[in-house]
Amino acid sequence: MQRLRKFAPEIDIAEAQIVLTVAHRPGILQSELTREMGSKQSRVSRQLGALFEEHGYISINEVSTNRRCNELHLTEKGEALVAALIHR
């Protein structure tokens, strides 16, 4: 938790969990992430919005075959955060 506060004080632990999950599973669908998180879709959508629009850690890409599906990837900023959190 201290490392999170040091490197990304603007996000909470649940948002950090999303960033780490996307790092572990690049291209994970938003619906899969919602299931894995055990949260409501609306909550995960709000968290992704913050991580995408406000903080720039996540990129959200529509799947071309289904516009309701979104693939999630880390941005360079997200990759840097993960590196800072997991490297000692």
Two structure tokens written together for 51: 């991580």
Q: Write the pLDDT tens digit of every residue in 28-87.
A: 999 999 999 998 989 998 999 888 888 999 999 887 776 678 899 999 999 999 998 887
pLDDT(2) > 90: no
Could you give all domains of the chain from N- to C-terminal order, each with its CATH number? 2-86 (1.10.10.10)
